Amino acid sequence: MRSCNACGQPLRPAARFCPACGAPTDEEVARRRADAGARAHRAARSVQAISIVAGGTLLAVLADLGCSLLWPGRASDLTLYLLLVPVAGLAVHRLGPGGLRASLAGRPSPGWVALGALLGLPVIALGLAYVRWQGDLLGVEGADLALEGSRAWLLLTFALLPAVTEELLDRGVLWEASRRVLSPGRTLLLTAALFTIGHGLQGGYLVYPHRFAAGLVFGWLRLRSGSILPPIAAHLTCNGTWVLLATG
């Protein structure tokens, strides 16, 4: 029969603690060490995935800007989103088994998807109002809303692709990686911040306020619904409305 290493009291075969002095058994100590090692390993992989998303997004934006310089106009519309796909893949790989399923999250109710689509309207309204405020009150020329090209192509490159790829990356992979090491509130703030910084690299720091507000709305939808579909719907409505207004 086993005995306690601390007091010598006999232990039952399945005992995890000594009934006399409360000391943990050798098996319990080994289990705790294994659990701590697994948590540390999981946290390290999550931090690596966050780094991949942040660094990969930066490189993708720089590559997109380079294409814009080499091929002026909208020749590089697809570059950024094509590059974000392998970035998401590498980050999912670092999350380990089940990372993709966890990033995609659950299936929301239709009501949440509908709410997401509706919330995209005040998000784009806030963005347009902010751009107009820049021009009127700050003396800064706002973003040009005019777009050239067929409406179908613009809806693909400015609405559908950004909504799917950016939400998969930010509210999907990045959200899951952050959630494993941060509280829900901090996860919401971090994903909104990185979402904002990525857009600021393209549009300048003056886009930060309304992009951050959009990131908070998209993140709130992800947090409350448990799925990336509602934020995708909100993002799609937001960008799609912008395209329709700019080509109307």
Three-state DSSP string of the chain: CCECCCCCCECCCCCCECCCCCCECHHHHHHHHHHHHHHHHHHHHHHHHHHHHHHHHHHHHHHHHHHHHHCCCCCCCCHHHHHHHHHHHHHHHHHCCCHHHHHHECCCCHHHHHHHHHHHHHHHHHHHHHHHHHHHHHCCCCCCCCCCCCHHHHHHHHHHHHHHHHHHHHHHHHHHHHHCCCCHHHHHHHHHHHHHHHHHHHHCHHHHHHHHHHHHHHHHHHHHHCECHHHHHHHHHHHHHHHHHHHC
Is residue 17 a part of any domain in this protein?
Answer: no
Q: Is the pLDDT of residue 14 over 80?
A: no
Is residue 221 a part of any domain in this protein?
Answer: yes
32: domain range?
26-247
Of 55-59, 180-184, 205-209, give the lowest mean pLDDT range.
Answer: 205-209
Percentage of the residues of the chain whose pLDDT score is greater than 90: 44
Q: Is the pLDDT of residue 8 over 90?
A: no
* Number of domains making up the chain: 1
Is residue 2 a part of any domain in this protein?
Answer: no
Is residue 1 a part of any domain in this protein?
Answer: no
pLDDT at residue 142, as a whole number: 46
Mean pLDDT, residues 163-172: 94
Mean pLDDT, residues 230-240: 96
Is residue 13 a part of any domain in this protein?
Answer: no
Is residue 222 a part of any domain in this protein?
Answer: yes
Is residue 51 a part of any domain in this protein?
Answer: yes
Q: Is the pLDDT of residue 72 over 70?
A: no
